[in-house]
Amino acid sequence: MTINRNDLHNIDFSDVTTGNAIESATPGQILKTEFLDPIGITQYRLAKSIDVPPQRIGAIISRGRAITADTDLRLCHFFKLSDGFFLRLQAQHDLEVARAGLGSVLARMPHYDDMLQAA
């Protein structure tokens, strides 16, 4: 089925969307659902295996703590991933959260070339 762009205003999408943005997954959620759960390892066992306090892993998974470079290197070594994998997830998540909070501010903010043209 093809939808004509001009007909979009007549289509009711209320059954598939609320209009609210979907919250992005945190690095901790990804760590749990994509790494720990599939191999059946506990947070405690992971923490002991990578020589960090168990509270650190618990806080990362419960959104109370961000991934640091130290933790990233340990996790990447343990899971045989390229260094920076979890840091990139953290940076992407932080950007999405900041963008959501700054959306209207950024929309009003000028670009540098606007200032050059005004001078």
* pLDDT tens track for 48-93: 999 999 999 999 999 889 999 999 999 999 999 999 999 999 999 9
Q: Which residue ranges make up each domain of the chain?
A: 23-102
State the sign of the Cα–Cα–Cα–Cα dihedral 46, 51, 55, 59: negative
* C-alpha span between 59 and 74 (Å, rounded): 16
Residues with Cβ < 8 Å from 87, sequence gap 6 or more?
67, 69, 72
Query: Is residue 45 over pLDDT 90?
Result: yes
* C-alpha span between 106 and 94 (Å, rounded): 16
Task: For domain 23-102, give the CATH number.
Answer: 1.10.260.40
- What pTM value is reported for the model? 0.75
